[in-house]
Structure 1
Amino acid sequence: NNYHERLRFTYEMEIDSSISFLNVKVIRSKTRLITNWFRKPTWSGRYINYYSNHPQKYKINTIYNLVDHAILLSNDCFKQENIKLVYDTLINNCFPEHIIHRHIQKRINFLNNRDHNDTIDVNPTRLNKTHFITIPYVENTSHDLYRLLRNSGFNVVYKITKKLNNLIRRGKDSLHNNDKTSVVYKLNCKDCNLSYIGQTKRHLRTRMKEHCNNIKLHETNHSVISKHRLESGHEFDWSKPNILHSEKYVRKREIAEMFFIKRFNNLINLQKDTDSLNNIY
């Protein structure tokens, strides 16, 4: 390299006539190159436990994923050994033998006939009718709901509610309410029992400043908060808004805002703020 002294190019030498790249080990065998499924020395073989509280299709897809690695990344001479490794790995993760045998064979048959399975449905009418819905996974209950939603034309995606970050907390100081983002909040009047409910994706402190300064605008641009301040001479507690809900997705946050507007009494929110809330709520 003569372009710049800080640019450095590296290379890796083969070891025992082989070199690895991502999940593939490339092996020099006489006059040809063959491949095998590569696993790092730190590979533990630990995957989702069969008896964990996860949807069944996640567990089946774990089998399919391992079989794909064992078959698609390997030369024929390694496939039997790799399938044996897949079997042992699944046994160590508490998968029942009959489940392992059935789905390993099913996946192998699929891969052997994949050239005949590559049919793509390009019907735009069908694509436009596909709707996805996310539901929390609760064993048994979610399966019944899954069947009902599928029959109604929905593709169901499960969401696991209890994740590692619910159990393992990072050692960070909690944020002050005014420094939080993507929240639904309730702003209380200091001088009466009226309140205002809103939502914002920005820092709550920034939204409070906007509410406070809105009164400086022309009266045609006044918010319901500014109108209440002018008509009654009351003031709001800008430094202590209550956070009712946190949600990073804007549509879900808007639904949560409308839900809380319906739930609470003594609000100054306009009635039209909940016009788009479905009657199911």
Structure 2
Amino acid sequence: MGSPLSLSLSWKAIDTFELKPTLWLRYVDDTFVIWTDRYLHALPNHHPSQKRGVISALTERARRICEPEHLERELKYLKVTLRSNGYNASEIRKAMKPKNITVRKAKKDQMVARAYLPFIPRVTDRIGKLLDKHDIETVFKPTRKIQQSLRSAKDKRDPLSVAGVYRKPCTCGKVYIGTTKRSMGTRLKEHKRNCRLGQADKSAVAEHALSEGDHIILFENTELIAPNHGYHSRLVREVIEIHKHTENFNSEEGEVYLNRIWNPILRNSRITNRMTTGSKIVNVPGSSAGTSTGTNTTDYLTRHKYALRSLKVSQRTASHDG
């Protein structure tokens, strides 16, 4: 359910519109709205091909459904409407020219791959032309949508309840970069269980925690780097973060191959972990900054069942070796 103020605010917002909706139906927090003569405006940061696509689609629609005696009048009305949406006469005239669909379809069939790029004028459009020479189709996306600029009226969700790419630190100074399509909290519980049961073969986190040395996984310091529900984009982001965090204990570099052409950019965005080892200070939860790690780490160690198990495993291994 929406806020009790949503009805008043929605009517207030409509009163500020220069172009009023033709139809506005509302039931509780659901609305059905019809705006006429309102299309993608010429000013937003969309690729020119997308704007031309709006004009050509409306033109082809008119040519298909209009009777011959009404077509000319419909096209004139369309030109007036497009001018009111910010397009100039030259843009309208070029986009309304009939297209050779057969040639366009044949060219599209030759494409061997598809690349998604944010539209940045005079930057990514030039990259798209280079990709087109190698039969790679380029799909341009807006850099920022209106939805991303508006603050949500809903309460903030718990970071552990969303999917995405996350970072899990260890007291040794290294971090684990992971991704999950489920909630981060669910994946966190699995990592804890693997550590507690000594299942090093099921988790790189458990393998690192049970390895030689003083390794305490700081589960409570797990951070969500990027919320993301898309499958491919989530895997790509994971690989990027693994390359950025050079001090990581991931057993693999991710499920997606990242071309080495991106290495110069990633090299300049590498992240140095705040936690270090040796004689330097490590801020372990429960300890104050500026204190030595020996005693505090031991105290923190006793509060973790999986850590106690790791000590037993190490002692058992040492006794067998002896």
Q: Report the TM-score when normalising by structure 2.
A: 0.63
Alignment of 1:71 onto 2:51: no
Name the counterpart of 1:137.
Answer: 119
Name the counterpart of 2:128.
Answer: 146
Specify whether residues 199 and 88 from structure 1 end up closer, same or farther in structure 2 by C-alpha distance, changes over 3 A only.
Answer: same
Alignment of 1:203 onto 2:183: yes
Specify whether residues 159 and 67 from structure 1 end up closer, same or farther in structure 2 by C-alpha distance, changes over 3 A only.
Answer: same
How many aligned positions are there? 229
Alignment of 1:223 onto 2:215: no
Name the counterpart of 2:268.
Answer: none
Where do 1:235-246 residues align within 5 Å?
235-246=216-227
Deviation, structure 1 residue 138: 0.6
Specify whether residues 66 and 219 from structure 1 end up closer, same or farther in structure 2 by C-alpha distance, changes over 3 A only.
Answer: closer
Alignment of 1:100 onto 2:100: no
Where do 1:23-172 residues align within 5 Å?
42-104=34-96, 106-107=97-98, 110=99, 127=109, 130-172=112-154
Deviation, structure 1 residue 90: 1.0
Letter in 2 for 1:87: K
Alignment of 1:212 onto 2:192: yes
RMSD: 2.9
**What fraction of aligned residue pairs are identical, expressed as a percent?**
24
Specify whether residues 82 and 279 from structure 1 end up closer, same or farther in structure 2 by C-alpha distance, changes over 3 A only.
Answer: same
Deviation, structure 1 residue 217: 4.7
C-alpha distance in 1 between matches for 2:126 and 2:110: 25
Specify whether residues 275 and 141 from structure 1 end up closer, same or farther in structure 2 by C-alpha distance, changes over 3 A only.
Answer: closer
Q: Secondary structure at the match of 2:221?
A: coil
CA contact (8 A) 1:215 1:222 kept: no
Specify whether residues 122 and 184 from structure 1 end up closer, same or farther in structure 2 by C-alpha distance, changes over 3 A only.
Answer: same
Specify whether residues 185 and 85 from structure 1 end up closer, same or farther in structure 2 by C-alpha distance, changes over 3 A only.
Answer: same
Q: Secondary structure at the match of 1:239?
A: helix
Q: Report the TM-score when normalising by structure 1.
A: 0.71
C-alpha distance in 2 between matches for 1:87 and 1:43: 17
Letter in 2 for 1:193: G
Tell me which of 244, 253, 261 is aligned to 1:263. Answer: 244
Specify whether residues 222 and 135 from structure 1 end up closer, same or farther in structure 2 by C-alpha distance, changes over 3 A only.
Answer: closer
Deviation, structure 1 residue 249: 2.7
Letter in 2 for 1:93: N
Specify whether residues 246 and 88 from structure 1 end up closer, same or farther in structure 2 by C-alpha distance, changes over 3 A only.
Answer: same
Deviation, structure 1 residue 270: 2.4
C-alpha distance in 2 between matches for 1:171 and 1:280: 41
Deviation, structure 1 residue 279: 1.6
Question: What per-residue deviation string (whole Å, max 9, x for no partner) do you get for residues 165-208 of structure 1?
Answer: 11223311121111111x1111112x432321111111000101
Specify whether residues 194 and 89 from structure 1 end up closer, same or farther in structure 2 by C-alpha distance, changes over 3 A only.
Answer: same
Specify whether residues 278 and 160 from structure 1 end up closer, same or farther in structure 2 by C-alpha distance, changes over 3 A only.
Answer: same
Deviation, structure 1 residue 256: 2.0
CA contact (8 A) 2:200 2:206 kept: no
Letter in 2 for 1:215: C
CA contact (8 A) 1:198 1:257 kept: yes
In structure 1, the gaps of 5 or more residues are 1-40
Tell me which of 172, 177, 180 is aligned to 1:192. Answer: 172
Q: Secondary structure at the match of 2:261?
A: coil
CA contact (8 A) 2:198 2:206 kept: no
Where do 1:239-254 residues align within 5 Å?
239-254=220-235
CA contact (8 A) 1:197 1:261 kept: yes
